[in-house]
Amino acid sequence: DAKTTQPPSMDCAEGRAANLPCNHSTISGNEYVYWYRQIHSQGPQYIIHGLKNNETNEMASLIITEDRKSSTLILPHATLRDTAVYYCIVRVRGSGTYKYIFGTGTRLKVLA
């Protein structure tokens, strides 16, 4: 089972910041939080990942709470092309390796 929970859908006005929350209350001390998005009929696109400090890159910012039990992905100025399903992932230990277990994600719709 996925180790994260996200709201199923969100709307955001074009040009406004989109704040996508994620809960990962069982995250272990050395595991990262990863964010990907999937635009219709494409493979997931990497956005950002972080451990405990806030992270920022050209696509987004990631805010992780101090207790690391939740995080928020921020798209500072959403555009119509940001409409996608956003997945928050914490890796799961498998047989000899770590793997991604995808949850249902958040379907973000950016409105004109």
For residue 109, the tally of other CB atoms under 10 A from its CB is: 14
* Nearest to 42, CA basis, from 88, 79, 81, 80: 81
Q: Taking the complex as a whole, how short is the minimal distance between the CB of residue 86 and another protein, in angstroms?
A: 12
With binding defined as CB under 8 A, does residue 79 bind another protein? Answer: no
With binding defined as CB under 8 A, does residue 13 bind another protein? Answer: no
Q: Taking the complex as a whole, how short is the minimal distance between the CB of residue 104 and another protein, in angstroms?
A: 5
Site for another protein, residues 35 to 74, rule: CB under 8 A: 36, 38, 41-46, 49, 51
Which one of the spans 12-20, 27-35, 59-67, 76-84 is the region binding another protein (CB under 8 A)?
Answer: 27-35
E-strand ranges in the chain read 9-13, 18-23, 33-38, 45-50, 55-56, 61-64, 70-75, 84-90, 92-93, 98-99, 106-111
Which residue is listed with tokens 């956003």?
A: 86
Chain residues in the site for another protein (CB under 8 A): 30-32, 34, 36, 38, 41-46, 49, 51, 87, 94-105
